[in-house]
Amino acid sequence: MNQTAFLMKLKPGVAAEYKQRHDEIWPELAAELKAAGVSDYSIFLDEQTLTLFAVQKLSDDNTAAALPKTPVVRKWWDYMAPLMETNSDHSPVTSPLREVFHLD
C-alpha cells in the first residue's frame, strides 16, 4: 500500500460549496476511485489560505494513473472547475508532496 499527498487551491468564497459537493460525492465516482485502488482518501482545508491538502492510499496494483481518462472523472473535474484552480482541461492544479515522516 502506497500513500500519496498533494495540495490544491480553492477560489475565494466557495469553501461551503466545495464541502457540500464532496458530501454528496457521486456514487459512480466513488466506485471508480475504489476500483482504481484508491482508498482512505481525505481532503483537508486551510481556511486562511484556501489550500486543500489531500491524502490517499493506493493499492500496490492501483490503476489511479488512468483515472483522468475516465468519463466520470472528467465530468467531476468540469463540475468542480468553477470552485478551484484548474488546468486548461479542468483537472485541478496539484502540487505533490513528499512524505518526510510517518508513524503507524
Catalytic entry in 2, 3, 19, 22: 22
CATH number for the domain harbouring residue 22: 3.30.70.100
For residue 43, the enclosing domain spans: 2-97
**3 state SS of 19:** helix
- pLDDT value of position 104: 85
> Is 102 known to be catalytic?
no
| CB distance 10 to 81 below 8 Å | no
> Is position 103 within any domain?
no
How many domains, the chain?
1
**Which spans in 3-84 are helix H?**
15-23, 27-35, 71-80
Reduced 3-state DSSP string for 48-81: CCCEEEEEEEECCCCCHHHHHHCHHHHHHHHHHH
| CB distance 17 to 82 below 8 Å | no
Phi and psi of 95, rounded to 5°?
-125, 110
Per-residue pLDDT tens over the stretch 49-102: 999 999 999 999 999 999 999 999 999 999 999 999 999 999 999 999 999 999
> Is position 40 within any domain?
yes
> Is position 102 within any domain?
no
